[in-house]
């Protein structure tokens, strides 16, 4: 196992990001730079990410973001052991921009290319920040994904549960939108819920007690919409109570679904080394509390990377690239970008 220096490029959604990380021969990681340019302001007027605007913004921004990441790390392209890009899943226009740019760099400098699955990068990030051995259980909740995954090794993942309809972040964003809160809605709902009464509305707890570890969030979202339209026009306190009620239902669902997921994990793979969280939704303090509760109940440790590494960033792509590179897993120039790509 030799030390490596990897550039990572992330362009699957609305963050244009690049980072340089070092992976020591002991397998420990160090972040030398981690530049994230969020396009939130470009998309906010539309209440969500507009794929065409995102793709064009990645074209405009990526070269500059990579240059900053390289400069801050004080590294030249020739020194890189590998260039990693998220090759999917995500908005295809953005994925093409990031992967093609990575290919150009590897072609010019003869550096290995690593085409990284964005979800795999989320799954491996805790190994960048913690000395965490396999296997462990990942709870991934973002704007596009809600999954419970058994992480058994690099490239060895078993999905234990997923959402049958909306992603969790998507549900937060939609609830925020229907209550007149700005995009992205997750942090707004969390803030409003702090001063709300979680018991004023009896919202459904979807999937509670089901034997599989899947999620369903669209029924809960509809229940919030029905209650909101019944109350129109909404007072500020109504909005806070609706948010608190919605979030309380989500918390209970998470604990229940993870009880099932962690039990299944232990039955199939033995006790996990930890429960690990990733994705933008995991930056929610109340949700972190629910995850801690689920971990306590299963008798396992709860590990969460700092918020900057939970949301989309280049360091997670670089790290996943370094982990794959250490196993000799590189990809040919003709690797295709993928809009859909299951773990």
Binding residues: 118, 122, 140-144, 173, 186, 190, 284, 312
Contact flag: residue 146 with Zn ion (CB under 5 A): no
Taking the least distance from each CB to Zn ion, the nearer of 17 and 220 is 17
Number of H helices, E strands in the chain: 12, 10
173 binding partner (options ligand KG4, Zn ion, none; Cβ < 5 to 8 Å by kind) = ligand KG4
Closer residue to ligand KG4 (CB): 278 or 326: 278
Max CA pair span of the chain: 63
Q: Which is nearer to Zn ion, 66 or 167 (CB)?
A: 167
> H or E stretch including 48?
none
Of 142, 188, 253, 273, the residue at the interface with Zn ion (CB under 5 A) is: 142
Question: Contact region for ligand KG4 (CB under 6 A) — 76-84, 184-192, 267-275, 292-300?
Answer: 184-192
Any idea how long the chain is? Answer: 343
Nearer to ligand KG4, 248 or 326 (CB): 248
CA end-to-end span of the chain, whole Å?
25
| Residue 158 φ then ψ, to 5° | -125, 120
281 contact choice in ligand KG4, Zn ion, none (CB below 5 to 8 Å, kind-dependent): ligand KG4
User: From CA 186, how far away is CA 18, in angstroms rounded?
Assistant: 24
Binding test (CB under 6 A) with ligand KG4, winner from 311, 320, 324, 337: 311
Can you list the alpha helix ranges (DSSP code H) found in the chain? 40-43, 51-73, 92-109, 118-124, 126-129, 168-178, 185-194, 218-231, 236-269, 285-298, 307-310, 314-326
Binders of Zn ion in range 265-324 (CB under 5 A):
312
Task: Specify the stretch interacting with ligand KG4 by CB under 6 A; choose among 129-137, 164-172, 207-215, 267-275.
Answer: 164-172
């Amino acid at each position: 196992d030799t030390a490596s220096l990897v550039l990572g490029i992330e362009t699957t959604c609305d963050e244009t990001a690049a980072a340089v990380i070092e992976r020591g021969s002991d397998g420990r990681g160090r972040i030398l730079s981690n530049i994230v340019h969020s396009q939130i302001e470009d998309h906010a007027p539309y209440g969500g990410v507009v794929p065409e605007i995102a793709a064009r913004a990645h074209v405009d921004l990526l070269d500059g973001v990579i240059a900053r990441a390289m400069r801050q790390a004080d590294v030249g392209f020739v020194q890189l052991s590998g260039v990693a890009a998220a090759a999917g899943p995500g908005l295809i226009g953005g994925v093409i921009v990031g992967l093609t740019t990575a290919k150009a760099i590897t072609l010019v400098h003869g550096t290995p290319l690593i085409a990284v699955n964005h979800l795999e990068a989320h799954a491996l990030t805790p190994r960048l920040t913690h000395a965490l051995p396999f296997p462990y259980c990942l709870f991934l909740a973002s704007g596009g994904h809600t999954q419970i995954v058994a992480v058994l090794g690099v490239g060895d993942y078993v999905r234990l549960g997923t959402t049958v309809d909306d992603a969790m972040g998507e549900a937060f964003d939609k609830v925020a939108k229907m209550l007149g809160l700005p995009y992205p809605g997750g942090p707004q709902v969390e803030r409003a819920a702090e001063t709300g009464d979680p018991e004023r509305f009896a919202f459904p707890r979807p999937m509670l007690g089901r034997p599989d570890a899947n999620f369903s969030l669209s029924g809960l979202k509809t229940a919030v919409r029905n209650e909101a339209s019944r109350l129109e026009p909404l007072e500020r306190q109504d909005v806070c109570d609706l948010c608190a009620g919605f979030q309380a239902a989500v918390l209970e669902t998470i604990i229940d679904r993870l009880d099932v997921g962690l039990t299944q994990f232990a039955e199939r793979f033995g006790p996990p080394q930890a429960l690990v969280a990733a994705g933008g939704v995991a930056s929610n303090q109340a949700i972190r509390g629910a995850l801690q509760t689920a971990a306590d109940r299963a008798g396992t440790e709860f590990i969460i990377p700092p918020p900057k590494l939970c949301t989309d960033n280049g360091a997670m792509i670089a790290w996943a690239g370094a982990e794959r590179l250490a196993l000799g897993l590189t990809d040919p120039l003709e690797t295709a970008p993928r809009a859909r790509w299951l773990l």
